[in-house]
Structure 1
């Protein structure tokens, strides 16, 4: 069943619209008063999905949703960095309100009520979830595919602020035999311009002029002696470097030595109107009480701003930096500010974060990555989102998983979270274990740590000031050296899964669908599946049921229609509810019968086998084919694009294979 999409523009002469949805119907009623409107949708439904990245629940039935970008440090609950005025119900009805202004969706009563600006175009959808989500994504643009290396393990810590510390991570990975493909450095820059390495000497440039790496002198820096050589060593080790960014012309504090380049940038932004402005023409500054108070923010709707901003950052790509972590963007707190394209603060409260990441997406091109926290409608057109800030608690793990699943149902294909949270006291080993297992089967797998001592030391002190969330640091803190071996298994498994992950990512972009998706996406007519909020599919083949309770090694798992083959034991289970128990090297993960997964394994062909961190080749490409018959298509960036069809032991191959591979029939 395909989706039907219809754009409706209500006005005073047409206040009603009806849709037939299978055996039910939706009646839309429109009422305007001044510049505000209320849309009432009469519709019988049990679940409602979408609305962006929602931490409080996957189904928003019974809740009121305010679509407004908001920075909230930990325990986001009903707030979100990444909203979207889009939803669909279990009855086959979907709706998108085409506005960047604040909207309110009330799902608490008998009827759905939406409060929004007058003259807002409404797009309605009819169909199954996968069809509605695909139509919604295509309406707003093509999903952005991250590079293949982005699907390996990521490591990150705010405390790594010197070349010595970064290069020590290469040695740590070697010492503990962990694979990683991405290293994120947050505290690398001068904390004024956010594009100049700490301690570097240079000749400041005026009026948007470009910087060149050869103009820097690092000989007197206590932080970075030769960043270019450092990046070359990272690349030789198969690790890609991502640097932190923030969109501000920073106001420096009274106790800071004024940075000459920052002052030049601020003066240029004022003179050429490169920053967001108040209604009287003066530069808008972030109000007191908020992150980076007093700072001006760049107007990315202005091409002169983009040129000046990225001229200062091009040298980073010239020396091999592989991408940016685009933090922040939730900086519009007044409705009367103005932008070059005519947008006001009413729209920019939500739209600014997306214009910021869109500008970076245009700048980075095809071979780099963007890792962003905030966004709005059309988030799938920027490469990767992460679930923001969480403390290291079990409640936060549950919360961020809900955020990832609701984001997926809003068409966001590539998403990840900080394993076991990044803030506060160190996680318990059990929390870290279960979060690592879950992250191994998310589109992005990353551990990250806040600054040593904590950002809010009085409220959330770290473990004796040491907050690094590396597996080896956790093992040392808890005096459990065997924990390193346990965690190595899941990092190796992530590299085993890389062929499958990238093949599915390619498919998600081509077919406009999320990579990680709740069961309702594929089994919308299964009432039990529609209500499940703690299981998900990763691609077309794998079902994951993470352990979300403290010290849990067993749980109830619901398997939708068909047969399922356990990835770890190869046990075959029928559809329905099962009580499942696992040891520390297992997780309830199942391959859907009739589907396959491509793995990169070593000679022993065992899950968790070490294959290093290379993404430009496979140690041994091995494909598992589940069930007595089915079809699996594998494609990648190495010249493979082939399909295996099997039926009771007979295998038919078609397409192109660029290397030798083996396959195994299971279940």
Structure 2
């Protein structure tokens, strides 16, 4: 029999694994602690206890059986509350009787309490720091508290006064609103939420600003949150057992919201895309062969459809993610890297060199998909196993507390795979070197750097410390690593992100359905990241998941995508779905038996090409001036649009999205100046 108990689960702020976690994860003074555990297998007549030891008492208590799920027994039992500073140890005993009892390992926690924290905070210029030294106290705080066990300082809670009628924006990617809703704790946690994301974001930023010009940034990788109430703003930082000392909060008071936004842009340092990346992009997950890519090129050329970028996701062996599927090679040692001449290419990618040359001849750049994991599921392809053994021996992967390689938890994307530790400089160089031939010899123009949300749980360790501290910043190191092998005009295109990600990558707002609601959500998310220091974003036009979109949704989405930073078609289904789920115009024409959509797409893709020099100019200005390329007009004209979706696109365009199927017209207030309707003059 096995006893299973994971006190912290995987530290998911949105989901508790009910079967085997402790609640609360960080026990507080005087509060009882509910402990859940599992015995495997479930045995008739089984009983279970918890044995508890603290500084002053010892006791044994019967656990209560809850249910049998999947042949495993689930149990609950309470531990009595204790005073702050007391260390509590506990273990479980289970079996049918004395001769069959099984005993778990010991677990422990130290009880904490909240204390007043202003004496631990010092303000210098715009930096509010957590430390124990004497400093200039911060009078701008209404209240401040820190969680302590009497020895270390852990979580921090700071309360600022809210001015009457003050509205707040920012927080990076969230899909539900431009103005941050009240009375809801909003977590800043890089999170892979598949569709219907609402407040959960792949690329959150712990930055908030008000319409009065106040702004602050929590400059940390720890989980944090904001909550806005009638009279106050509560900022929280959750360190999950790590010391909070040294954490900084940047605090600004400016004359306007735009001046406050400049502050986050100076920190994010967004890098403008090259001109070629501002034309139409084509992508579909089902393009898993050279033959399919050549068919796409043929359709594009024969139908005279503008395109500057083609993304191929399903190109690799799905294990190393740097070797083309079907390629033969003689394995190399783990510390070695391949050159192009080392491969003998076969179907489904018989000649990548010819394929890339043909794309380049037509002015189309190639972007290949990437993920920061390695997996090995096929022993007939030995290189993944060689790489994993070598990387493991050198400490190149994230690890667990016992020193073994960390594996992505069950039921999470890419479960069971190892994760490269980019905080280890040697590991980063090693991983990047494996991909150099793709750029230097094949001429690949960029990478779609998917993933990055893989470090779960405080007990997961990197060269920079616990995942509690670096989970949010991990994508930044991932992008920085692979950006180092790109040519000068190469690009990255990423889903995850954090405060400083824009220095290395363009961004798409994640996985969404082909619905009107999703269209609204995508634009909302894009405008939110733009406010928060990330100006170069796009989305999967008309959604990427499920059946092909309706003709009206497709038309509206194409129109709107012309006036967003990245113009990309993409679809989810892999392999050979029937009917095809491609969002290409020729597939939409086939699906809806209406060839007119091809002309419609061509007209708007051509318009995109026409205005791409303008977008390039405005991209340079956005990066240099520290302003969003897509700026919600409500930050200039407060009563303009209650939803906040009308936005400036650069300095000379105003875009008012039609994100409702029934919407035929809308009234907006334009900024001062002389404005001309783009459609009818």
TM over 0.5: yes
Tell me whether 1:189 sits opposite 2:310 in the alignment: no
Give 1:40's match in structure 2, choosing from 159, 166, 189.
159
- Answer yes or no: is the 8 Å Cα contact 1:179–1:495 preserved in 2: yes
SS at match of 1:95: strand
Q: Distance in 1 between matches of 2:430 and 2:324?
A: 18
SS at match of 1:396: helix
Tell me whether 1:368 sits opposite 2:456 in the alignment: no
Partner of 1:390 in structure 2?
512
- Answer yes or no: is the 8 Å Cα contact 1:251–1:296 preserved in 2: no
Q: Distance in 1 between matches of 2:669 and 2:628?
A: 21
Query: Measured at CA, do residues 185 and 453 of structure 1 come closer, stay the same or move farther in structure 2, by a change above 3 Å?
Result: closer
SS at match of 2:205: strand
Tell me whether 1:137 sits opposite 2:260 in the alignment: no
Q: Distance in 2 between matches of 1:452 and 1:306?
A: 30
Greater C-alpha radius of gyration:
2
Tell me whether 1:241 sits opposite 2:366 in the alignment: yes
Residue 51 of structure 1 deviates from its aligned partner by 0.5
Q: Distance in 2 between matches of 1:36 and 1:343?
A: 17
Superposed counterparts of 1:141-160, under 5 Å: 142-160=269-287
Query: Measured at CA, do residues 111 and 14 of structure 1 come closer, stay the same or move farther in structure 2, by a change above 3 Å?
Result: farther
Give 2:195's match in structure 1, choosing from 59, 74, 77.
74
Superposed counterparts of 1:15-414, under 5 Å: 17-18=138-139, 27-34=141-148, 35-44=154-163, 45-62=165-182, 63-116=184-237, 117=239, 118-119=244-245, 120-127=247-254, 128-140=256-268, 142-218=269-345, 221-252=346-377, 256-317=378-439, 318-340=441-463, 342-414=464-536
- Answer yes or no: is the 8 Å Cα contact 1:437–1:546 preserved in 2: no
Q: Distance in 2 between matches of 1:557 and 1:267?
A: 61
Tell me whether 1:513 sits opposite 2:645 in the alignment: no
Residue 531 of structure 1 deviates from its aligned partner by 4.3
Residue 565 of structure 1 deviates from its aligned partner by 1.2
Partner of 1:501 in structure 2?
615
Superposed counterparts of 1:634-649, under 5 Å: none
- Answer yes or no: is the 8 Å Cα contact 2:640–2:668 preserved in 1: no
Q: Distance in 2 between matches of 1:205 and 1:375?
A: 33
Q: Distance in 2 between matches of 1:452 and 1:164?
A: 15
- Answer yes or no: is the 8 Å Cα contact 2:178–2:643 preserved in 1: no
Structure 2 residues not aligned, in runs of 5+: 1-123, 149-153
CA RMSD after TM alignment: 1.9
- Answer yes or no: is the 8 Å Cα contact 2:475–2:501 preserved in 1: no
Residue 193 of structure 1 deviates from its aligned partner by 1.0
Could you report, residue by residue, the CA deviation over 1:524-546 in whole angstroms, capped at 9, with x for unpaired residues? xx331474412111111100011
Give 1:541's match in structure 2, choosing from 652, 664, 681.
652
Q: Distance in 1 between matches of 2:446 and 2:483?
A: 10
Partner of 2:668 in structure 1?
557
SS at match of 1:164: helix
Query: Measured at CA, do residues 438 and 530 of structure 1 come closer, stay the same or move farther in structure 2, by a change above 3 Å?
Result: closer
Partner of 2:584 in structure 1?
470
SS at match of 2:341: helix
Q: Distance in 1 between matches of 2:261 and 2:425?
A: 32
Superposed counterparts of 1:520-535, under 5 Å: 520-521=634-635, 523=636, 526-529=637-640, 531-535=642-646
Q: Distance in 2 between matches of 1:11 and 1:477?
A: 62
Q: Distance in 1 between matches of 2:641 and 2:287?
A: 43
Could you report, residue by residue, the CA deviation over 1:443-491 in whole angstroms, capped at 9, with x for unpaired residues? 000000112479xxxxxxx7x4411110111111101111111111110
Query: Measured at CA, do residues 452 and 193 of structure 1 come closer, stay the same or move farther in structure 2, by a change above 3 Å?
Result: closer
Q: Distance in 1 between matches of 2:209 and 2:487?
A: 33
Q: TM-score, normalised by structure 1?
A: 0.78
- Answer yes or no: is the 8 Å Cα contact 1:64–1:108 preserved in 2: no
SS at match of 2:473: helix
Partner of 2:102 in structure 1?
none
- Answer yes or no: is the 8 Å Cα contact 1:413–1:515 preserved in 2: yes
Residue 225 of structure 1 deviates from its aligned partner by 1.6
- Answer yes or no: is the 8 Å Cα contact 2:171–2:188 preserved in 1: yes
Query: Measured at CA, do residues 258 and 71 of structure 1 come closer, stay the same or move farther in structure 2, by a change above 3 Å?
Result: farther
SS at match of 1:39: strand
Residue 228 of structure 1 deviates from its aligned partner by 0.7
Q: Distance in 1 between matches of 2:376 and 2:316?
A: 16
Q: Distance in 1 between matches of 2:125 and 2:195?
A: 37
Query: Measured at CA, do residues 465 and 348 of structure 1 come closer, stay the same or move farther in structure 2, by a change above 3 Å?
Result: farther
- The farther-off stretch of 125-134 and 187-196 is 125-134
Could you report, residue by residue, the CA deviation over 1:488-512 in whole angstroms, capped at 9, with x for unpaired residues? 1110000010110111111122222
Q: Distance in 1 between matches of 2:431 and 2:128?
A: 39
- Answer yes or no: is the 8 Å Cα contact 1:48–1:59 preserved in 2: yes
Count residues in correspondence: 542
Query: Measured at CA, do residues 94 and 285 of structure 1 come closer, stay the same or move farther in structure 2, by a change above 3 Å?
Result: same
Q: TM-score, normalised by structure 2?
A: 0.77
Query: Measured at CA, do residues 266 and 11 of structure 1 come closer, stay the same or move farther in structure 2, by a change above 3 Å?
Result: closer
Query: Measured at CA, do residues 88 and 435 of structure 1 come closer, stay the same or move farther in structure 2, by a change above 3 Å?
Result: same
Query: Measured at CA, do residues 5 and 560 of structure 1 come closer, stay the same or move farther in structure 2, by a change above 3 Å?
Result: farther
Could you report, residue by residue, the CA deviation over 1:197-249 in whole angstroms, capped at 9, with x for unpaired residues? 1111111121231211111112xx22112101110110000000000001111
SS at match of 2:160: strand
Could you report, residue by residue, the CA deviation over 1:421-445 in whole angstroms, capped at 9, with x for unpaired residues? 1011111011111111111100000
Residue 180 of structure 1 deviates from its aligned partner by 0.3
Q: Distance in 2 between matches of 1:258 and 1:468?
A: 32
- Answer yes or no: is the 8 Å Cα contact 2:212–2:257 preserved in 1: no
- Answer yes or no: is the 8 Å Cα contact 2:177–2:643 preserved in 1: no
Q: Distance in 2 between matches of 1:536 and 1:225?
A: 46
Q: Distance in 1 between matches of 2:574 and 2:552?
A: 22
- Answer yes or no: is the 8 Å Cα contact 2:407–2:416 preserved in 1: yes
- Answer yes or no: is the 8 Å Cα contact 2:634–2:644 preserved in 1: no
Could you report, residue by residue, the CA deviation over 1:318-366 in whole angstroms, capped at 9, with x for unpaired residues? 21110000001111111122212x3211012212122211212233242
